[in-house]
Structure 1
Amino acid sequence: MNTHSFKLPPLATLGPFIALLLACFFFATQSDRFLSAQNFSLILQQVMVVGVIAIGQTLIILTAGIDLSCGMVMALGGIVMTKFAADFGLPAPLAVACGIAVTTLFGLLNGLLVTRIKLPPFIVTLGTLNIAFAITQLYSQSRTVTDIPDSMTFLGNTLRFGNTSIAYGVALMLGLYLVTWAWLRETASGRHIYAVGNSPEATRLTGIPTDRVLLGVYVLAGLLYGIASLLSVARTGAGDPNAGQTENLDAITAVVLGGTSLFGGRGVVLGTLVGALIVGVFRNGLTLMGVSSIYQILVTGILVILAVATDQMSRKGVR
Structure 2
Amino acid sequence: MTTGFEERRQESVPDRVQHLLHGRPTLGPLAVLLLAVIVFSIINTRFLNPENLGLVLQQVTVIALLGLGQTLIVLTAGIDLSAGAIAVFSSILMANLAYDAGFPGPLALLAGLAFGTAMGAVNGFLVTRVHLPPFIVTLGTLSVFFSLNSVVSGSETVRGTDMPAIMTWTGETIPIGSFHLTYGSIIMLLLFGVFFYLLGWTAWGKHVHASGDDAEAARLAGIRTDRVLLSVYTVAGAVYAIAAWVLMGRLASADPNVGTEYNLDSITAVVLGGTSLFGGRGGVIGTLVGALIVGVFRNGLVLAGVQVVWQGFAVGLLVLLAVTIDQWIRKVRA
**TM-score, length-scaled by structure 2:** 0.92
Q: Does the alignment pair 1:269 with 2:284? A: yes
* 2:111 matches 1:98: yes
- SS across alignment from 1:318: coil
- Match of 1:165, SS state, is strand
- Per-residue CA deviation, residues 99-134 of structure 1 (Å, 9 max, x unaligned), is 111111110110000000110000000000000110
**Is the partner of 1:244 in helix, strand or coil?**
coil
What is residue 52 of structure 2 aligned with on the other side? 39
Residue matched to 2:298: 283
Query: What is the DSSP-based 3-state SS (H/G/I as helix, E as strand, rest coil) of the residue aligned with 1:139?
Result: helix
Deviation at 1:165, TM superposition (A): 1.4
The aligned counterpart of 2:164 is: 149
Residue 169 of structure 1 pairs with residue 179 of structure 2: no
* Secondary structure, aligned partner of 1:159: strand
User: How many angstroms does 1:316 deviate by?
Assistant: 2.2
Unaligned runs of 5+ in 2: 1-15
Aligned to 1:130: 143
Q: What's 1:4 paired with?
A: none
| DSSP 3-state at the match of 2:41 | helix
What secondary structure is seen at the aligned counterpart in 2 of 1:34?
Answer: helix
Partner Cα separation in structure 2 for residue 13 and residue 70 of structure 1:
23
Q: Which residue of 2 aligns with 1:76?
A: 89
Q: Give the 5 Å matches for 1:1-319.
A: 10-11=20-21, 12-146=25-159, 147-318=162-333
Whole-angstrom distance in 1 between the partners of 2:333 and 2:33: 25
SS in 2 for 1:63: coil
Shift, 1:243, TM fit:
1.7
CA-CA distance at 1:293 after TM superposition:
1.1
Rounded to whole Å, the distance in 1 between the matches of 2:296 and 2:130 is 41
CA contact (8 A) 2:75 2:276 kept: yes
Q: 1:117 is paired with a residue of what secondary structure? A: coil
Deviation at 1:317, TM superposition (A): 3.6
Matches of 1:106 and 1:134 in 2, distance apart? 14
Contact 2:70–2:79 at 8 Å: present in 1 too?
yes
Return the offset for 1:10. Answer: 2.4
Which amino acid is 2:225 matched to?
A: T
Root-mean-square deviation (Å): 1.5
Instruction: Report if aligned partners of 1:143, 1:241 keep a CA contact under 8 Å in 2.
Output: yes
Shift, 1:161, TM fit: 1.4
Separation in 2, partners of 1:133, 1:155? 24
Provide the rounded CA distance (Å) in 2 between the counterparts of 1:138 and 1:204: 41
Distance in 2 (alpha carbons) for counterparts of 1:151 and 1:71: 22
Once the two structures are superposed, residues 55-109 of structure 1 have per-residue CA deviations (whole angstroms, 9 ceiling, x without a partner) of 1100000000000000011100000000111111111111111111111111011
Q: 2:100 is matched by which residue type in structure 1?
A: D
Conserved in 1, the CA contact under 8 Å of 2:118 and 2:234?
yes
More divergent stretch after superposition (9-18 vs 221-230): 9-18
Alignment gaps of 5+ in structure 1:
1-6
The amino acid of 2:320's aligned partner reads I
Structure 1 segments of 4+ aligned residues over 3 angstroms from their partners: none
In 2, Cα distance between equivalents of 1:212 and 1:151: 34
Judge conservation of contact 2:26–2:285 (CA < 8 Å) in 1.
no
18-27 or 288-297, larger mean C-alpha shift: 288-297
1:153–1:235 contact (8 Å) kept in structure 2: yes
Q: Does the 8 Å CA contact 2:70/2:236 hold for their aligned counterparts?
A: yes
CA contact (8 A) 1:72 1:243 kept: no
**C-alpha distance in 2 between matches for 1:286 and 1:71:** 25
Provide the rounded CA distance (Å) in 1 between the counterparts of 2:217 and 2:123.
23
CA apart distance, 1:162: 2.0
Q: Relative to structure 2, which stretch is displaced further, 153-162 or 70-79?
A: 153-162
